[in-house]
């Protein structure tokens, strides 16, 4: 968890409710006790309803692979570059009582399957391919194999549904893009922050990461650097604490806020 002194927090409005201050800070609600406390920054993918997860970490193929299993049996795997700590893959698997469900990739893309000799139908490599691969400080979405001229594309924000909308003036292509990190933090998408470019048959859409995400990434890098000092080797299973917040409000806390922060009372 990432601690921040409340004394440095810039407060815009506040309302006293009993012994708790409900603070509005740059559009993010907080609950701060009248007593001295500290703020803990949460992971941008925290969702209390999933419950507290069990976490395992293993070093494979030059990557640090974190595997989370939540109380509702939802699974999440993240893969970080062992040296740069760049997040390469984040994928989810929903629980099922009937059959094995496929991984859903939030970041990165599934490995390409080699075509079998006896296969009659194979997926065309000319179809548009959507993938998210973030860059420093920004969420970034790429759509490859788009062959129309640059002036045909339109990229906007649907403020009501909180989606990025990609369309073409010739009505040949349309796609809705969700930004899960923004949705989980309950922060509205701002159209003026959206940026995009088209080059080499690829549409690149960018949106700046909010402070909560950036601070969490800083925290993870610090923790991974500590692990790297132990000089991990291929196949090592690492002892690692939970790097995301998922517990609910019934854990002796005064309150919990879903805007990316957790408030802990000092004993």
DSSP per-residue string spanning the chain: -EEE-GGG---SEEEEETTEEEEEETTEEEEEESS-EEEEEPPTT--GGG-PPEEEEEEETTEEEEEEE-TTS-EEEEEEETTT--EEEEEEE---SSSPPPPEEEEB-PPPPPPPTT-S----TTS-EEEE--BTTEEEEEEE---S-GGGEEEEEETTTTEEEEEETTSS-EEEE--HHHHHHT----GGG-EEEEETTEEEEEEEPPHHHHHHHHHHHHHHHHHHTT---TTPEEP----S----STTT-SEEETTTEEEEE--
The pLDDT value recorded for residue 53 is 80
Q: Which residues of the chain have pLDDT under 70?
A: 1-51, 113-124, 241-267
pLDDT of residue 172: 94
Distance CA 38, CA 121 (A): 58
CA angle 219, 223, 229 (to 5 degrees): 145
CB 60 within 8 A of CB 28: no
| pLDDT value, residue 12 | 31
**What's the pLDDT tens digit per position in 91-118?**
999 988 888 889 999 999 988 766 566 6
pTM (two decimals): 0.70
Give the pLDDT confidence score for residue 261 in this predicted structure.
42
- What pLDDT does residue 248 have? 37
Write down the pLDDT at residue 123.
59
pLDDT of residue 48: 46
């Amino acid at each position: 968890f990432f601690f921040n002194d409340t004394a440095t927090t810039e407060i815009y409005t506040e309302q006293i409710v009993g012994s708790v201050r409900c603070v509005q800070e740059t559009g993010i609600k907080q609950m701060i006790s009248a007593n001295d406390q500290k703020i803990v920054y949460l992971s941008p993918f925290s969702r209390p309803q999933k419950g507290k997860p069990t976490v395992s970490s293993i070093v494979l193929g030059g990557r640090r692979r974190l595997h989370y299993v939540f109380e509702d049996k939802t699974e999440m795997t993240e893969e970080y570059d062992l040296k740069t700590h760049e997040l390469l893959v984040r994928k989810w698997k929903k629980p099922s009582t009937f059959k094995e469900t496929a991984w859903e990739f939030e970041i990165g893309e599934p490995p390409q399957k080699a075509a079998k000799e006896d296969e009659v139908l194979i997926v065309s490599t000319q179809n548009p391919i959507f993938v998210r691969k973030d860059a420093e400080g920004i969420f970034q979405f790429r759509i490859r194999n788009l062959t129309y001229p640059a002036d045909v594309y339109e990229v906007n924000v649907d403020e009501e549904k909180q989606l990025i909308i990609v369309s073409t003036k010739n009505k040949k292509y349309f796609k809705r893009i969700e930004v899960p990190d923004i949705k989980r933090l309950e922060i509205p998408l701002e159209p003026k922050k959206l940026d995009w470019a088209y080059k080499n048959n690829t549409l690149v859409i960018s949106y700046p990461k909010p402070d909560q995400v950036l601070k969490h990434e800083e925290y993870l890098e610090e923790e991974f650097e500590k692990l790297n000092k132990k000089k991990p080797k291929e196949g090592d299973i690492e002892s690692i604490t939970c790097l995301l917040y998922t517990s609910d409000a019934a854990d002796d806390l005064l309150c919990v806020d879903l805007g990316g922060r957790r408030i802990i009372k000092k004993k």
